[in-house]
Structure 1
Amino acid sequence: MIRRLKPADAKIIESILNKIPLFKKEDIKIAMELVDITASNPLQTDYNIFVYENNGAVIGYHCIGKRPLTDAVYDLYWIVTDPEHGKQGIGKSLLEHAEDFVLQSNGRWMLIETSSKESYSATRNFYMRNNFSIISEINDFYSKGERFLVFGKYFNNKNN
């Protein structure tokens, strides 16, 4: 089941993030800042965090929010699955939930930012398998030779 974040989920999410070798300490710090903002102020709407729960255990989450200064563009800030539960369709379920959130919010675009590093190839392939396209890239962004990639999906939403 996918549900909204509860304050008690924060430590579990931090534990999941720490299991993923791809994430540096700075990445985890930023992710946890968004979790803390959402957990401490559930009425704010900048960040919407939903967790994937199975048999009472949180094993993944996504964080999505409307991009400032836009009327209908949403950023998927984070989508994470506990590596112990990988390859079970949890990431796909979370991504579909995020897409439904965008559609229900009358969103037009969903954007996802990531790196061109080889270690992120599975992440990029996941987005492409789910009909996201690279819509922008900036060379030498994160470091020399590491591009900043923006994946996007356009929703032909009749309400906008």
Structure 2
Amino acid sequence: MIRPTKPEDAVALIDVANTIGFQPHEIEALGKMLADYFGGNTDSDPFWITDFDDKDGPVGVAYCEPERMTEQTWNLQLIAIRPDHQGQGRGGKLLHYVEETLKARGGRMLLVETLASFERTRKFYAKCGYEEEARIRDFYTAGADKIVFRKVLNAA
């Protein structure tokens, strides 16, 4: 079941991030983002979505926020499925839910960023209808390029 994230999901969602390899400083930032979101301490209109399994609780998460100074362009900052629940189509369903949520809000375009070295991730976005829009060389560190994917949601 995919649904809006609830405050009681936070610990499990941080665990999801931990199981997919988030670094300690990234886990700390994620915890702060969730706390700010549920505390109403954000200056934008982000949203969190949880993939909830009846047996295992929260097993996936997506976080999306609007791009400042744009007309309904959004950025998918995080999408993750716990490794023991991957390969079941959950990521595609979660991404589709995000897209439908954005369309209902009038969202025009969704951007997604990933590392060039994440071939599986890049294939996932291509399979979901995203096109590679940009590459920023050496963005994360020397030799670690950032790839930006784009999908038009509501062509106006």
RMSD: 1.8
Matches within 5 A, 1:67-82: 67-82=67-82
Runs of 4+ in 1 over 3 A off after TM superposition: 42-45
Match of 2:148 in 1: 150
Match of 1:33 in 2: 32
1:87-141 Cα distance to aligned partner (Å, 9 max, x none) = 1111111100111012111111100111112xx2211111111111110111111
Q: Distance in 1 between matches of 2:6 and 2:154?
A: 32
Question: Whole-Å Cα distance in 2 between the matches of residues 138 and 83 of structure 1?
Answer: 28
User: Retained in 1: the 8 A contact 2:36–2:42?
Assistant: no
Q: Distance in 2 between matches of 1:143 and 1:154?
A: 29
The CA deviation string for residues 50-107 of structure 1, in whole angstroms up to 9 with x for no partner, is 1011216111110112111111101101101111111111111110011101211111
Identity %: 27
The equivalent residue for 2:139 is 141
Write out aligned runs for 1:4-83 (5 A): 4-21=4-21, 23-41=22-40, 45-55=44-54, 57-83=57-83
Q: Match for residue 88 of structure 2?
A: 88
CA drift of 1:42 comes to 8.7
TM-score w.r.t. length of structure 1: 0.88
Deviation at 1:27, TM superposition (A): 2.5
Q: How many residues align?
A: 155
Q: What's the TM-score, normalizing by structure 2?
A: 0.90
Q: Mark the runs of 5 or more structure 2 residues left unpaired by the alignment.
A: none
- 2: CA distance, partners of 1:130 / 1:11: 29
